[in-house]
Amino acid sequence: MKSLIWKSLVWSIAFALAGLLALAAAGSEVDQLKSDLIGHSMGGREKCWKFQSVDQIRELAIQTRSEESHRRVYTVSLRLQANQASPIYAAQAKVQYTNTTHGWQIQQVGLLSLAKLETP
C-alpha cells in the first residue's frame, strides 16, 4: 500500500515539474522573440511599426509555430505602444527565422494587421 502511494506521489510531482518546465520554455520563447524583433520593421507606407525597444511590446502571444530544418515561422499577436503618451495598437505579424551559422535569426517580419485600440 505504501509503495502504491509513494509511486503515485512521485508521478504527480513529475507531471507538475514537466508542466512548469513547459511554461518556462514558452515564456523564454516569447522573451526571445521580443528581443529578436528589436531593430526590425513591419509594414509599409500606410501602416508600419519599427521595433525600437522591448518596452514597446506590451504583449506578445504566439498563435502558430512551424519549423523545418532551416526555417521557423511564427504567427504572433501583439499589443504595441511607442511610449506612455502614445496610442496602443493591436497587431498580428508573421515572423520568419532562418537557421544561419550564428543560430536562428529573423529573416522577415510581415505585418498582417495593425489597428489603433485607444489613446491614453
Residue-wise pLDDT tens digits, 28-73: 899 999 999 999 999 988 889 999 999 999 999 999 999 998 999 9
**What's the structural domain count of the chain?**
1
Residue 23 scores a pLDDT above 50:
no
CATH number where 62 lies: 3.10.450
pLDDT at position 44: 87
Residue 60: domain span: 2-118
pTM of the predicted model as reported, rounded to 2 decimal places: 0.73
pLDDT at position 3: 64
User: At 1, is the pLDDT very low, low, confident or very high (cuts 50, 70, 90)?
Assistant: low
| Whole-angstrom distance, CA of residue 19 vs CA of residue 28 | 14
Contact 85, 71 (CB under 8 A): no
Contact 80, 102 (CB under 8 A): no
